Amino acid sequence: MATAKHSPAFREGILNPLMRGEVLVPPLRAYLCNPDFGGMTIKVPSIGTRPYDGKFHSSEHPRWAPRALMLYLVAPELLTPRMFQASDILAMTAGSVWHAIIEHCFMELRLALACEVPFESVETNSKGTGDAVRDGEIVEIKTMRDLLLRKIETPEDYIARFPGYHLQAIDYMRMSGYRRERVLLIAVTYPFEMKEFVIEYDMLEAQRIDTNYRMAIQAAADFQLPMCGGCDDDCPVKPLCRSMDSAAIMRLVEGRS
């Protein structure tokens, strides 16, 4: 029997992803690698700083302790803002361009039902926007360096390397009722490798996020600073917690103009 001779590009880009059960990568690669590609018009949104809206956001807040969340509600100006290097901004802009391209392809190829889908939970004062949804699952696009993408083979690798992205996925599922997120990884340098896999719902983690949000809302209503057991290096309250006790923090909150 004759053995099919596939080109390395076809084998790597389309055949192997199909064998791994990937549903997005093969049609995307076929579409984007077509020499007769007819062009597209995309709109790239601004990545400008999000104005304060008093809401908990999936991209940022699932990792925060109730104390930090409570201060975010009552005295956001006391939190230390995240600082970005110029190259971080450029990376985010490049990521936005790729998001717009891939979301255009999703709709063109009918791989998604909708893109930029808002999720919200009024009870927990929280919101987020998923990149896309398709039959029974959320889709999230993540762009990264080729070297990094090659180190991620499984959902577990992804979760270990990007715990914030994992919590973002759980928070989307918590609010939306979806119970799976399909992650599409794209390397934005040659040869533009792509991978995809599915993250399942983690009910315990979702309950932890939900409880933290509710505790913070109640603490803000009672004007009581929650106790905090653990300490996260990235916590925006770190300078306050390091230099003063709870009573002093609350005096600062009450005394600000």
Binding positions for ligand SF4, rule: CB under 6 A: 65, 67-68, 228, 230-232, 235, 237-238, 241
DSSP state letters, 118-158:
EEEETTTTEEEEEEEEETTEEEEEEEE-HHHHHH--SHHHH
- Smallest gap from Cβ 57 to ligand SF4, in A, equals 17
- Smallest gap from Cβ 230 to ligand SF4, in A, equals 6
- Smallest gap from Cβ 241 to ligand SF4, in A, equals 3
In this complex, which beta carbon is closest to ligand SF4, that of residue 221 or of residue 244?
244
In this complex, which beta carbon is closest to ligand SF4, that of residue 17 or of residue 236?
236
Contact present, 80 and 238 (Cβ < 8 Å):
yes
Task: Sort strands 56-57 and 126-134 into parallel, antiparallel or unpaired.
Answer: parallel
In this complex, which beta carbon is closest to ligand SF4, that of residue 113 or of residue 244?
244
In this complex, which beta carbon is closest to ligand SF4, that of residue 110 or of residue 242?
242
CB atoms under 10 Å from CB of 221, counted, come to 11
Helix (H, G, I), strand (E, B) or coil at 198: strand
In this complex, which beta carbon is closest to ligand SF4, that of residue 36 or of residue 77?
77
Contact present, 152 and 158 (Cβ < 8 Å):
yes
Task: Sort strands 137-144 and 126-134 into parallel, antiparallel or unpaired.
Answer: antiparallel
In this complex, which beta carbon is closest to ligand SF4, that of residue 65 or of residue 105?
65
- Smallest gap from Cβ 233 to ligand SF4, in A, equals 9
- Smallest gap from Cβ 237 to ligand SF4, in A, equals 4
CA distance 225 to 73: 11
- Smallest gap from Cβ 71 to ligand SF4, in A, equals 8
Phi, psi of 244 (to 5 degrees): -150, 160
